[in-house]
Chains A and B, each alone.
Chain A
Amino acid sequence: MRPPSTPIDLDETDRRIVNGLQGGFPLVPRPYAAAADALGIGEDELLSRLGRLIETGALSRFAPMFDAEKLGGAVCLAAMEVPAARFDDVAAVLEAMPAIAHNYERTHRLNMWFVIATETRAGIGAAQRAIETATGLKVLLFPKVREFFIGMRVDV
């Protein structure tokens, strides 16, 4: 159970890096140089700042983001109504299941919201049944019908 991490201080250049490099990293031999140019800084400075942003946890990583479904996998949002007295135990069950990628406590009667990610479509239902069997609680599935935005924009 980790509390949300404490914020870290970014300077103006860090902010421009975080805001400006969430996509569009160029497919050229010296991509950091090209990206640094666009930000008006040097290649070395961009590399060292990215390293620090990752080290401090401001960025989870600097990487390609893949579409799990296009790779044959399946992803599904799910939720449960967990009695308060059992909350931590149920969270521990999900913590131990590799098919659960994210899990959040949220302010609603449906108080546990998580993402099931499996290598096949059939895996989603199997994970749902496994959780229901392990906890005796009903798991509601909220598969996406349509996605309206495929990026992640964060403005700092």
Chain B
Amino acid sequence: MIDGELDPVDRALIEATQGGLPLVAAPWAAVAAVVGIGEAEVLERFGRLVEAGIVRRIGAVPNHYRLGLGANGMTVWDVDDAAVDRLGAEIGALDFVTHCYRRPRSLPAWPYNLFAMVHGRTRDEVFEKRGLIAERLAGAVGASDILFSTRILKKTGLRLHAG
């Protein structure tokens, strides 16, 4: 990778690892063997991908439902435009918020511009956490709502076609 541009080797590394790292003592060496380069080069390239933000993190990807976190609430808020970036950063830093985004309103159906995803064992637990978000937003928020997921209709995960 030079100046943020991925070369074919980077792309091969992405393809080789996105489904899972080998569960062997030397996984980077195993990836290196698949891609046809040395282990040191794999480590060096991954270091650059992490630094460039192309790799967000490396580790365990939890399955909320199997972990007993069956209540999934998308809390949505109509926050003053002047305050939403500052408050969004505060909400995103809460340890029970798994994603937090500012998104455009879609009036009149959708007045909300801040989305914060909260998982919990029960809906009560999610409501409780939502209350903590509401406290943080007090004074700068109008309408709000919470959308629980009632069914997973499709979940393929994001698969990148890097090549």
Chain B residues near A28 (CB, 8 Å)? 43
The residue in A21, A23, A108 that gathers the most chain B C-beta atoms within 10 A of its C-beta is A108
Q: Contact partner of A59 among B54, B61, B148, B153, CB < 8 A?
A: B61
Known A-B contacts A30-B25, A50-B23; the reply to A25 vs B59 at CB < 8 A is yes
Contact A105 B153 (CB under 8 A): yes
User: 10 pairs across A/B with beta carbons < 8 Å?
Assistant: A21-B60, A58-B66, A71-B162, A77-B103, A101-B157, A109-B109, A110-B110, A142-B110, A149-B99, A155-B95
Chain B residues near A140 (CB, 8 Å)? 106, 109-110
Number of A-B contacts (CB under 8 A): 260
CA distance A79 to B53 in the complex (A): 28
Contact A62 B21 (CB under 8 A): yes
Contact A148 B57 (CB under 8 A): no
Closest beta carbon of chain A to B16's beta carbon, Å = 10
Considering only residues 24-73 of chain B, those with a C-beta below 8 Å from chain A are 24-29, 39, 43, 46-47, 49-50, 52-70, 72
Contact A66 B151 (CB under 8 A): no
Q: Contact partner of A1 among B43, B69, B109, B151, CB < 8 A?
A: B151
Closest beta carbon of chain A to B11's beta carbon, Å = 9
Residue tally, chain A, CB below 8 Å to B: 85
B2 interface residue, CB < 8 Å from A? no
Chain B residues near A147 (CB, 8 Å)? 92, 99-101
Chain A residues near B62 (CB, 8 Å)? 18, 22, 58-60, 152, 154, 156
Contact A61 B61 (CB under 8 A): yes
CA distance A59 to B43 in the complex (A): 24
* Closest residue on chain B to residue A154 by CB atoms: B62
* Closest residue on chain A to residue B96 by CB atoms: A155
CA distance A65 to B53 in the complex (A): 10
CA distance A22 to B46 in the complex (A): 17
Known A-B contacts A5-B66, A104-B153; the reply to A17 vs B6 at CB < 8 A is no
Known A-B contacts A57-B63, A103-B153; the reply to A71 vs B58 at CB < 8 A is no
Q: Contact partner of B154 among A10, A43, A57, A102, CB < 8 A?
A: A102
Considering only residues 99-156 of chain B, those with a C-beta below 8 Å from chain A are 99-104, 106, 109-110, 113, 115, 119, 145, 147-156
